[in-house]
Structure 1
Amino acid sequence: MTKPVNSRSRTGRWAGIAVAGAALVAVSAAALPASAATGGPGPVAVGAAPVDRTALAGLMTPDGVGSGTMVRITGPGVRLAGATGGLSQDPAASFRIGSITKVFTSTVVLQLVGEGRFTLDTPVRELLPGTLPASWAPITVRQLLSHTSGLRLPCVAPENPASPTPAAVIAALTDPKCPAAESPVTTQQYNGINYFLLGMVIEKATGRSYADEVQRRIARPLGLRHTYVPRPGDTSIPSPSLAAPVADDPWAWAEGGMISTAPELEHFLRSLLRGRLLAPAQQAELFRMPKLSEGVRDRFSTAGLLRAELEDGTVVWGKTGSKVPNANGLFGTRDGDRVLVFSYTVAARDPEVQRARAEALVEASF
């Protein structure tokens, strides 16, 4: 895709995008679609690349990739929020965040590490006895978080595949007909199964449900009133929403099942990046890159944050997440000064097309 550029290069050099305080001044939005702009003219940025408003206008226009797009960008000297293509104009519209859920999961796990419940190098078999085969090489909490576990996808369908329990997912993974986890692990490989196991670790270590721990440790302390883990079988979504309720159970629990809003996701990521949720030792893991991530298209930190580098050298951290019918993204600079949240209604199912759209949205926003 060719897109206009501003005073700084926007062609994009990526480590990878996976598919999956101070007063804010409104950005000048003359180049945006009317429904995508809020506020009057103002400075585009302070000490950072300006938002590429022309590129955003093109990317938010309904087309064969996305039939409607919501974008929210905030930071010192920049504030932009809006939606196109019939999506709700309510800034607090709810949507299913998909795999962005994993950032909440890894945050809770790192909090438990900071409390001494276990370490990053504790084998999962010690925390969840009998869950993984004794014949497999030990897999640690660190390996689950960083997608370096060597786990493969289940080769058989789990029990009740439309809405499997975590235990059923792991039972399918460890079915004798399925291959064992890779050992030794040779590369970082993104796999949502890692986060089903981490959700089980959270519940075992705390004696409370994953949903309760997200509320107790993240949502309530940060005042996130519309961010939660739905119950199994709950296909509803609060109104206003960016998407209609789905017919099938969309539950994916600690791997990708949460509901939130753009303002609350922004607040969560900014708080995380600025150290409000983790002790210093665990905060460092947000940005520590495993050796096995070198040379990999989509590079994830120890804490499971996706690292993306723009052509001008700007590095952003975050996560994408898809949940039909939306594809979403949450990214911020390391200091949390600028944060982007986006969600678009998918018109093209091609993963490479979705990847390109996500990359373009991030490039235009930082």
Structure 2
Amino acid sequence: MKTRTSLLTAAVLVAGLAVGPSVLPAAASAPAAPTAAPTAAPSPGPALEAAIAGLPRADATAALVRLGGKEGVWRGSSGVHDLETGRPADPAARFRAGSVTKVFTAAVALQLAREGRLDLDRSARSYLPELIPASYGRVTVRQLLNHTHGIPAPDFPGTTVEEAYANRFQVHAPEDMVRSATSKKPEFAPGERQHYLNIGYTVTGLLIERVTHDSYERQVARRVLGPLGLRDTYFPGTNPRITGPHNHGYQTMRLDDGTTGLRDVSVWGSTDGWAAGDVISTTADLERFTGALFKGRVVRGPLLEEMFTLPEVTDFGTGEPAAYSVGLSMKVLGGREVWGKTGGRWGYNAAIASTRDGSRTLVYGVTSTDAKGQGMNRTAESIMVAAYGRP
């Protein structure tokens, strides 16, 4: 299988930069022409417009943003669909949402817990005895979901973005990833620390399949996507392409001629993420999902509080207090708690966020050139700060 490789010269990038932002007005009805300025925007509107102005630039080629909630509505898009043509970014485009997938996975697991089909305090090994070894026999379902399980990450070929690109079409079976991870020693005793990794959600996806006798993807579709009408959200499986309208993603890496530049990475397999990171969606769908989740329409009853409860442990790497709950994470921005989830796949960053009362929600999709980097993408960070304020 081959994918189109784009070796971008400085001249092409400069041509892309000449395309200005396309900002949509704040409106609950159909969007107006992309050249119009936002009207009746809430107070973060000007800051959000500034945050996404001037795309494409070094760190991102496009940004799609939706602000909602009781405090007002703002919608905007900026940048280009692709650097070759320079045409404006499609505000309704699909994109890889990465670890936002974990919120869908957690929601289904909590639904199953409410139905009595999955016990959060029961060991994962009791459900998957042939896969989870005795050395991880004490890990509970809840610990998988809040990243306090102590299972290390599985091994993948290569350690650099260039090596990952060379292996972008490799198919990873979830069972093999679990075997790779659990063949190693635990990082810590279950429940003692927190380490944010994908592997807990890979195991959770397999638990969902075991107790429902159905595929993970069908269960999410039946329980979440269908009831909420999320028609542009789907799981790609082994297909490395984004089906339907989408803006191209680019990643900074070493090119074939030895120079460093941008490569089109829109076509890239995501089986390594699976139930932890392979969902493809739109800002409209993710906004609807976020609103329904925080209103208790996805996870009903007391179990919703699992998503807003941080374990009383410290982070494995930093020693700071735990920041991840079941499915979500929490950060204090602008003096108030903001709950949500970010995600990153090569060429794409995404996030959903909301205050606990749903008064201000945020969804963005950014085609970032440094996705999966050490720090937060600059455009994505600017959007978050514009919406909620600084930490």
TM-score by length of structure 1 reads: 0.81
- Where does 1:58-97 land on structure 2 (aligned, <5 Å)? 58-62=51-55, 63-87=57-81, 89-97=89-97
- Where does 1:172-321 land on structure 2 (aligned, <5 Å)? 172-175=180-183, 178-183=184-189, 185-232=191-238, 234-243=239-248, 246-251=266-271, 252-293=273-314, 296=320, 299-301=323-325, 303-310=326-333, 312-321=334-343
- Please name the residue that 2:132 is paired with: 132
Q: d(CA) in 2 for partners of 1:55 and 1:297?
A: 30
- Please name the residue that 1:6 is paired with: none
Contact 2:128 2:207 in 1 (8 A): yes
Residue identity in the other structure for 1:250: S
Q: d(CA) in 1 for partners of 2:70 and 2:307?
A: 23
Deviations 1:53-85 (A, max 9, x none): 236414443332222222111223522222222
Structure of higher RCO (CA pairs closer than 8 Å, 6+ residues apart): 1
Residue identity in the other structure for 2:270: P
- Please name the residue that 2:30 is paired with: none
Residue identity in the other structure for 2:297: R
Deviations 1:273-299 (A, max 9, x none): 100012221111111111015763760
Whether 1:334 aligns to 2:327 is: no
Q: CA separation of 1:91/1:222 partners in 2, compared to 1, >3 Å: closer, same or farther?
A: same
Q: d(CA) in 2 for partners of 1:180 and 1:161?
A: 30
Q: d(CA) in 1 for partners of 2:370 and 2:322?
A: 21
Secondary structure at the aligned position of 1:199 is classed as helix
Displacement after TM superposition at 1:184 (Å): 5.2
Q: d(CA) in 1 for partners of 2:38 and 2:247?
A: 27
Q: d(CA) in 1 for partners of 2:47 and 2:203?
A: 43
Q: d(CA) in 2 for partners of 1:350 and 1:247?
A: 16
Q: CA separation of 1:356/1:138 partners in 2, compared to 1, >3 Å: closer, same or farther?
A: farther
Q: Which of 42, 49, 54 is the equivalent residue of 2:47? A: 54
Deviations 1:266-319 (A, max 9, x none): 000110010001222111111111101576376011x12010111x32211111
Q: CA separation of 1:286/1:293 partners in 2, compared to 1, >3 Å: closer, same or farther?
A: farther
Q: d(CA) in 1 for partners of 2:330 and 2:53?
A: 24
Secondary structure at the aligned position of 2:100 is classed as helix
TM-score by length of structure 2 reads: 0.76
Q: d(CA) in 2 for partners of 1:279 and 1:350?
A: 33
Q: CA separation of 1:160/1:316 partners in 2, compared to 1, >3 Å: closer, same or farther?
A: closer
Secondary structure at the aligned position of 1:38 is classed as coil
Q: d(CA) in 2 for partners of 1:298 and 1:92?
A: 35
Secondary structure at the aligned position of 1:307 is classed as strand
Q: d(CA) in 1 for partners of 2:173 and 2:225?
A: 23
Secondary structure at the aligned position of 1:263 is classed as helix
Q: d(CA) in 2 for partners of 1:238 and 1:119?
A: 36
- Please name the residue that 2:176 is paired with: 168
Q: CA separation of 1:350/1:289 partners in 2, compared to 1, >3 Å: closer, same or farther?
A: closer
Q: CA separation of 1:363/1:297 partners in 2, compared to 1, >3 Å: closer, same or farther?
A: farther
Q: d(CA) in 2 for partners of 1:215 and 1:184?
A: 31
Secondary structure at the aligned position of 2:135 is classed as coil
Q: CA separation of 1:117/1:38 partners in 2, compared to 1, >3 Å: closer, same or farther?
A: same
Q: CA separation of 1:360/1:183 partners in 2, compared to 1, >3 Å: closer, same or farther?
A: same
Secondary structure at the aligned position of 1:354 is classed as coil
More divergent stretch after superposition (58-67 vs 222-231): 58-67
Residue identity in the other structure for 2:242: I
Contact 2:96 2:279 in 1 (8 A): yes
Residue identity in the other structure for 2:356: R
Q: How many residues end up aligned between the 2 structures?
A: 325
Gaps of 5+ in 2: 1-19, 27-36, 82-87, 159-166, 250-264
Gaps of 5+ in 1: 1-32
Contact 2:312 2:322 in 1 (8 A): no
Deviations 1:110-145 (A, max 9, x none): 000000012211100011112121133510011010
Contact 1:214 1:228 in 2 (8 A): no
